[in-house]
Amino acid sequence: MGRRGLWTGLRLRQISRLLRRLGIHACPNTVRRLLKKIGYALHANRKSLCAPCPERDRQFHYLQRQRRRFTQEQAPIISVDTKKRELIGRFKNPGRVWSQAAVEVHDHDFPSLADGVAIPYGVYDLQANRGSVNIGTSRNTPAFAAESIGQWWRREGRQRYPHASRLLILADNGGSNGADTYLWKHALQEKLADRFGLFVTVCHYPTGASKWNPIEHRLFSEISKRWAGQPLVDYPTVLRLVRQTRTSAGLAVSCSLDERNYPKGIKLTPEQLKQISLYRHSVLPQWNYTILPNQSRN
């Protein structure tokens, strides 16, 4: 009997014993039949409750309009996020692979046993169906996030969109690319807008809506399938598995290793804050804004 069936039987027997104490004799099967007759059934927990967000639908409609507008103008649209941090070494990776013998891994995921960490920051180009992943070895900071996007633009984006002067970024509402942090905005200003002369528009998904970010189900899920059951024993293995990620719909993924140190706890100076050429949109400005190149500030 499976685990669910076992617990079901125990519960029904408990009800049967309670009824017997009351002088009612009903076997567990009779209890099951009677419960079904009055509308009871086995149910698992259902994820349907969420924190109220009155502007959620409005933001989704605005996101759709922005995507439609950039698509019509043939301007690039990218979805960005950080995939789960991974330990490098012989650690268990969920999943199974065909092999003559199981690969032996550590029985515990102690960080002290790791040879390092892999922090995959992804950029997914919606119109080209292409992914780019920057594997960090330090920390997931706004500077790392913006540098990853800048690397994508320098290596792929500007070749794919040679006449583009605008870029739309779809991002979650928290983390290294969160809507509330000025470190993220300053990093975009420095590493993208000013460096390449781009008008960078950012639209954030509402809180609790990150699963609708395209990168989650079009890039990250495919990478997880590709390396399922394969220990990430070293950085070359991580790079190889990410680069080998393919789909029948034509997805291809590039991958690079970023061994620079990205410290946390950085505070912006008043001068650095003044350098941010931030234009907030009239619709939900806390989630929608454009970073202008400083040479176009006026």
Q: What is the pLDDT of residues 131-160, one digit of tens each?
A: 999 999 999 999 999 999 999 999 999 999
Are residues 239 and 202 located together in one domain of the fold? yes
The pLDDT of residue 45 is 75
Whole-number percent of the chain with pLDDT over 90: 79
| 7 pLDDT tier (thresholds 50, 70, 90) | very low
Strands (E), 137-274: 166-171, 199-204, 252-258
The pLDDT of residue 297 is 52
Within-domain flag for 198: yes
Burial 95-122 (b: 16+ CB within 10 A, else e): eeeeeeeeeeeeeeeeeeebebbbbbbb
Provide the mean pLDDT of the chain. Answer: 92
Are residues 31 and 62 located together in one domain of the fold? no
| pLDDT tens for each residue of 34-53 | 888 888 887 777 766 666 66
Number of domains the chain contains:
2
Within-domain flag for 48: no
Within-domain flag for 47: no
Are residues 32 and 60 located together in one domain of the fold? no
The pLDDT of residue 294 is 93
Within-domain flag for 130: yes
Are residues 68 and 20 located together in one domain of the fold? no
Are residues 104 and 151 located together in one domain of the fold? yes
Residue 236 scores a pLDDT above 80: yes
SS3 content of the chain, % helix, strand, coil (to 5): 40, 15, 45
Q: What is the mean pLDDT of residues 261-287?
A: 97
Within-domain flag for 45: no
Instruction: Give this prediction's pTM.
Output: 0.84
What is the chain's length?
Answer: 298
Are residues 17 and 69 located together in one domain of the fold? no
Within-domain flag for 154: yes
Taking the C-alpha atoms of residue 231 and residue 94, their distance in angstroms, rounded to an integer, is 9
Are residues 234 and 287 located together in one domain of the fold? yes
Residue 4 scores a pLDDT above 50: no
| 97 pLDDT tier (thresholds 50, 70, 90) | confident
The pLDDT of residue 262 is 98
Are residues 159 and 221 located together in one domain of the fold? yes
Within-domain flag for 46: no
Q: Which domain holds residue 145?
A: 56-296
- CATH number, domain at 166? 3.30.420
Taking the C-alpha atoms of residue 36 and residue 216, their distance in angstroms, rounded to an integer, is 40
The pLDDT of residue 295 is 79
Taking the C-alpha atoms of residue 19 and residue 72, their distance in angstroms, rounded to an integer, is 69
